[in-house]
């Protein structure tokens, strides 16, 4: 993860927050004029969320909305440390085989019903049920049972020590739902314990929320919050300049520069998320290791970064979690080697070249098509034809979740703990292993070792071996990490950017005098 010398991810996030709070842009908009009445905020988003059901939200725009509506048992602070959420405290048993959570009292759902341990037990058991299709099911793999001895106490019974369980519980994919609510009802009308409540959705236009005055973390300063769909980031800049939008999170550095040059305040935050060319090793010809290594050796990652993101970021290995970060040089062909790529193709029986396809999203993040076209050109020089299938964001997510692709140009969210980041992808029982397209007994063993260790140094050694196992087998081609650029008009204060791209601190944001 890129950082300035002498800084941490936490200090970078706080510095960015200060920038958003203290600086005022000179744009013509700013503050309340373009927002909802009474100091509300309008957020520009490039895509309509593909779901409002938190357990299945993988699209970035969907996550940005549902994290306003729902709460989790634990949370992450700006330094990515685990802090209380709906659970105000916890205690881990000496043998590591149980975690006792003490819940906040007096918390209610948006419909007014009380939140208690029965909702936690129901939520965790439903997430664990394979039929639910929850994307973070594997994060609860160590949970063998959930007890609710009283209304404010929950005991997680574990198969063994799980060093990553508390960080995993902070994901909105593990949000707490009412035991009375089914997925179908929540898809139409979310009912959470979050800082905001659902008001109205106009498909492909907007989603409107209202402040939850009884939010357990304190009533938000914004009376209303609207996510407005504007199909491209350049148009969002125009809306910021006009004052019809007051907030946006960009991933295109060129757009961010344009916004800043026009007087909009822009904060730059390094991200845990990573860009990758996902290779589905269960589909020919990618089931051949030499083919995957040929692709890996044929790609200059720095060139992809420079071409697609103006060099704004850093070449990365698999793990971007700050304490366990992979060494991007510890891989076959750390530098592009077209001759080696051709040798691998020859060894795979494809000396005359081969053709593969890749799916590419359009609308979910800005650099996707430029990444894909650069990779396409580089692979062509090694005798590999890459056919691009450019899809709108929702269609891409559907294909991605179904593993209906040979390869995929993807931006995946990182997590502070590597088990929560990859356990669901690269273990043989992981619920997203079909999407990952690769697993092995060696990886299963390493993941088991990593989560069972409490000592950070010992865990770091395990995850270094795990990263090397992924790279040696070219499970995917990890490309680079980049930045989120948070743009605000004058009068917007109090927002803290996060290295995991969370917008949860919209709960502390204000517009003008709100």
Domains, the chain, with CATH or none = 9-28+35-70+186-270+484-511 (3.40.190.10), 74-183 (3.90.76.10), 273-482 (3.10.105.10)
pLDDT at position 363: 81
- The DSSP secondary structure of 268-327, one letter per residue, reads EEEEEEEEEEEE-TTSTTTTSHHHHHHHHHH--HHHHHHHHHTT-SEE--S---GGG---
Angle at 317 between CA 311 and CA 318, to 5 degrees: 125
Of 190-199, 277-286, 336-345, 505-514, least confident by mean pLDDT is: 505-514
Reference 87, options 195, 166, 171; nearest CA is 166
Q: Coil, helix or strand for 104?
A: coil
Burial 414-439 (b: 16+ CB within 10 A, else e): bbbbbbbbbbbbbbeebbbbebbbbb
255-286 pLDDT tens trace: 999 999 888 999 999 999 999 999 999 999 99
Check whether 23 has a pLDDT greater than 70. Answer: no
Q: Two tokens at 149? A: 């001895």
Q: Coil, helix or strand for 172?
A: helix
Instruction: Indicate the pTM of the whole model.
Output: 0.86
441-491 pLDDT tens trace: 999 999 999 999 989 999 999 999 999 999 999 999 999 999 999 999 999
Of 4-18, 373-387, 442-456, 499-513, least confident by mean pLDDT is: 4-18
Helices (H), 210-271: 233-242, 253-261
- Which whole number is the average pLDDT over 117-144? 97
């Amino acid at each position: 993860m890129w950082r300035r010398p002498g800084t941490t991810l936490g200090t970078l996030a706080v510095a960015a927050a200060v920038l958003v709070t203290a600086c005022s842009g000179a744009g013509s908009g700013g503050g309340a004029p373009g927002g909802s009445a009474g100091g509300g905020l309008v957020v520009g988003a490039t895509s309509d969320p593909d779901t409002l059901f938190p357990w299945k939200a993988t699209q970035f725009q969907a996550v940005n909305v549902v994290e306003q509506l729902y709460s989790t048992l634990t949370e992450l602070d700006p330094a990515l440390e685990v802090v209380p959420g709906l659970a105000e405290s916890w205690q881990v048993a000496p043998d590591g085989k149980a975690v006792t959570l003490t819940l906040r009292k007096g918390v209610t759902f948006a419909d007014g019903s009380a939140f208690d341990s029965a909702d936690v037990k129901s939520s965790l058991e439903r997430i664990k049920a394979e039929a639910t299709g929850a994307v973070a099911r594997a994060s609860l793999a160590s949970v063998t049972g959930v007890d609710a001895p009283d209304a404010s106490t929950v005991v997680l019974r574990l198969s063994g020590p799980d060093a990553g369980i508390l960080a995993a519980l902070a994901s909105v994919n593990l949000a707490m739902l009412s035991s009375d609510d089914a997925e179908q009802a929540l898809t139409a009308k979310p009912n959470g314990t979050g800082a905001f409540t659902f008001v109205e959705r106009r498909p492909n236009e907007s989603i409107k929320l209202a402040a939850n005055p009884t939010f357990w973390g304190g009533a938000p300063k914004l009376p209303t919050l609207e996510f407005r769909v504007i199909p491209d980031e350049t148009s969002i800049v125009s809306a910021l300049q006009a004052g019809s939008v007051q907030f946006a999170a960009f991933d295109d550095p060129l757009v961010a520069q344009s916004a800043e040059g026009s007087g909009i305040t822009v904060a730059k935050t390094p991200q845990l998320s990573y860009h990758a060319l996902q290779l589905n090793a269960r589909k020919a010809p990618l089931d051949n290791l030499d083919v995957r290594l040929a692709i890996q050796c044929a790609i200059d990652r720095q060139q992809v970064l420079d071409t697609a993101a103006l060099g704004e970021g850093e070449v990365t290995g698999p793990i971007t979690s700050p304490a366990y970060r992979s060494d991007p040089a510890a891989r076959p062909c750390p530098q592009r080697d077209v001759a080696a790529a051709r040798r691998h193709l020859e060894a795979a029986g494809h000396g005359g070249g081969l053709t593969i396809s890749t799916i590419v999203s359009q609308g979910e993040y800005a650099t996707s098509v430029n990444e894909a076209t650069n990779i396409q050109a580089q692979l062509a020089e090694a005798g590999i034809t890459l056919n691009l299938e450019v899809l709108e964001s929702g269609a891409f997510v559907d294909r991605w979740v179904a593993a209906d692709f040979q390869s995929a140009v993807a931006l995946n969210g990182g997590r502070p703990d590597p088990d929560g980041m990859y356990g669901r992808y690269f273990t043989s029982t992981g619920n997203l292993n079909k999407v990952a397209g690769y697993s092995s007994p060696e990886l299963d063993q390493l993941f088991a070792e990593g989560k069972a260790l409490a000592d950070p140094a010992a865990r770091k050694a395990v995850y270094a071996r795990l990263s090397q196992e992924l790279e040696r087998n070219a499970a995917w081609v990890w490309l680079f990490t980049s930045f989120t650029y948070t743009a605000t008009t004058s009068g917007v204060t109090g927002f803290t950017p996060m290295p995991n791209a969370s917008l949860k601190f919209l709960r502390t944001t204000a517009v003008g005098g709100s």
